[in-house]
Amino acid sequence: MVAPAFSDLSDRELANLIRDLVVRIAVLAPQIEPRVHARKRTIKIVRSILLMAGGLLTATVVDLWGLIISGLGVWDCIEAVEDDVREMNRQHAAGRSLVQLEMELAIAEVEFERRHGP
Protein backbone atom coordinates (compact mmCIF):
# COMPACT_ATOMS: atom_id res chain seq x y z
CA MET A 1 0.00 0.00 0.00
CA VAL A 2 1.35 3.40 -0.97
CA ALA A 3 1.09 6.06 1.71
CA PRO A 4 -0.80 9.12 0.56
CA ALA A 5 0.82 12.54 0.62
CA PHE A 6 -0.40 13.50 4.08
CA SER A 7 0.11 17.21 3.51
CA ASP A 8 -2.39 17.08 0.62
CA LEU A 9 -5.19 15.67 2.80
CA SER A 10 -7.79 17.82 4.49
CA ASP A 11 -8.05 17.73 8.29
CA ARG A 12 -11.10 15.49 8.07
CA GLU A 13 -9.40 13.09 5.64
CA LEU A 14 -6.30 13.00 7.83
CA ALA A 15 -8.36 12.28 10.94
CA ASN A 16 -10.25 9.53 9.09
CA LEU A 17 -6.97 8.06 7.89
CA ILE A 18 -5.56 8.05 11.43
CA ARG A 19 -8.72 6.38 12.73
CA ASP A 20 -8.57 3.78 9.94
CA LEU A 21 -4.91 3.02 10.65
CA VAL A 22 -5.59 2.64 14.38
CA VAL A 23 -8.40 0.17 13.65
CA ARG A 24 -6.30 -1.83 11.19
CA ILE A 25 -3.43 -2.02 13.69
CA ALA A 26 -5.83 -3.10 16.43
CA VAL A 27 -7.14 -5.90 14.22
CA LEU A 28 -3.70 -7.05 13.01
CA ALA A 29 -1.75 -6.87 16.28
CA PRO A 30 -3.49 -9.83 18.01
CA GLN A 31 -2.69 -12.01 14.99
CA ILE A 32 1.00 -11.92 15.87
CA GLU A 33 1.51 -15.07 17.90
CA PRO A 34 3.26 -15.16 21.25
CA ARG A 35 6.58 -17.01 21.61
CA VAL A 36 4.79 -19.85 23.42
CA HIS A 37 3.17 -21.01 20.18
CA ALA A 38 6.49 -21.00 18.33
CA ARG A 39 7.98 -23.05 21.18
CA LYS A 40 5.19 -25.61 20.88
CA ARG A 41 5.95 -26.05 17.18
CA THR A 42 9.64 -26.46 17.96
CA ILE A 43 8.84 -29.10 20.59
CA LYS A 44 6.76 -30.97 18.01
CA ILE A 45 9.72 -31.03 15.60
CA VAL A 46 12.08 -32.25 18.35
CA ARG A 47 9.55 -34.93 19.33
CA SER A 48 9.40 -36.20 15.77
CA ILE A 49 13.20 -36.32 15.54
CA LEU A 50 13.31 -38.32 18.79
CA LEU A 51 10.70 -40.71 17.36
CA MET A 52 12.82 -41.22 14.26
CA ALA A 53 15.97 -41.78 16.32
CA GLY A 54 14.17 -44.17 18.67
CA GLY A 55 12.75 -46.05 15.71
CA LEU A 56 16.14 -46.43 14.13
CA LEU A 57 17.65 -47.64 17.42
CA THR A 58 14.91 -50.20 17.97
CA ALA A 59 15.07 -51.31 14.33
CA THR A 60 18.30 -53.08 15.18
CA VAL A 61 16.50 -55.14 17.86
CA VAL A 62 12.88 -55.47 16.73
CA ASP A 63 12.57 -54.86 12.99
CA LEU A 64 8.84 -54.21 12.55
CA TRP A 65 8.33 -51.95 15.59
CA GLY A 66 11.44 -49.95 14.80
CA LEU A 67 10.25 -49.36 11.25
CA ILE A 68 6.79 -48.34 12.46
CA ILE A 69 8.23 -45.89 15.00
CA SER A 70 10.64 -44.48 12.40
CA GLY A 71 7.78 -44.07 9.93
CA LEU A 72 5.68 -42.24 12.52
CA GLY A 73 8.64 -40.00 13.32
CA VAL A 74 9.21 -39.12 9.66
CA TRP A 75 5.50 -38.43 9.14
CA ASP A 76 5.33 -36.30 12.30
CA CYS A 77 8.48 -34.40 11.33
CA ILE A 78 7.23 -33.60 7.83
CA GLU A 79 3.89 -32.42 9.21
CA ALA A 80 5.55 -30.32 11.92
CA VAL A 81 7.98 -28.65 9.52
CA GLU A 82 5.18 -27.88 7.04
CA ASP A 83 3.07 -26.33 9.81
CA ASP A 84 6.02 -24.35 11.12
CA VAL A 85 6.98 -22.97 7.71
CA ARG A 86 3.39 -22.01 6.91
CA GLU A 87 2.90 -20.28 10.26
CA MET A 88 6.26 -18.49 10.18
CA ASN A 89 5.52 -17.14 6.68
CA ARG A 90 2.16 -15.87 7.91
CA GLN A 91 3.77 -14.33 11.00
CA HIS A 92 6.45 -12.56 8.96
CA ALA A 93 3.86 -11.15 6.55
CA ALA A 94 1.67 -9.95 9.43
CA GLY A 95 4.70 -8.43 11.16
CA ARG A 96 5.74 -6.54 8.02
CA SER A 97 2.19 -5.24 7.54
CA LEU A 98 2.00 -4.15 11.17
CA VAL A 99 5.30 -2.25 10.94
CA GLN A 100 4.18 -0.53 7.75
CA LEU A 101 0.86 0.50 9.30
CA GLU A 102 2.60 1.79 12.42
CA MET A 103 4.99 3.87 10.30
CA GLU A 104 2.10 5.35 8.32
CA LEU A 105 0.29 6.13 11.57
CA ALA A 106 3.36 7.85 13.01
CA ILE A 107 3.75 9.99 9.88
CA ALA A 108 0.04 10.89 9.89
CA GLU A 109 0.19 11.81 13.58
CA VAL A 110 3.23 14.04 12.98
CA GLU A 111 1.37 15.80 10.17
CA PHE A 112 -1.68 16.24 12.40
CA GLU A 113 0.47 17.68 15.21
CA ARG A 114 2.24 19.97 12.72
CA ARG A 115 -1.11 21.40 11.68
CA HIS A 116 -2.72 21.66 15.12
CA GLY A 117 0.16 21.71 17.59
CA PRO A 118 0.95 19.10 20.25
Q: Three-state secondary structure along 75-118? A: HHHHHHHHHHHHHHHHHHHHHHHHHHHHHHHHHHHHHHHHHHCC
Element (H, E) at 14: helix 11-28
Compute the average pLDDT of residues 62-87: 82
- pLDDT value at 92 more than 50: yes
- The three-class DSSP label of residue 53 is helix
Domain ranges of the chain: 9-113
Q: What is the pLDDT of residue 1?
A: 47
The whole-number pLDDT of residue 24 equals 93
Share of the chain above pLDDT 90, in %: 21
Q: What percent of the chain has pLDDT over 70?
A: 95
How far apart, in whole angstroms, are the C-alpha atoms of residue 38 and residue 110?
36
Reported confidence tier of residue 118, pLDDT bands at 50, 70, 90: low
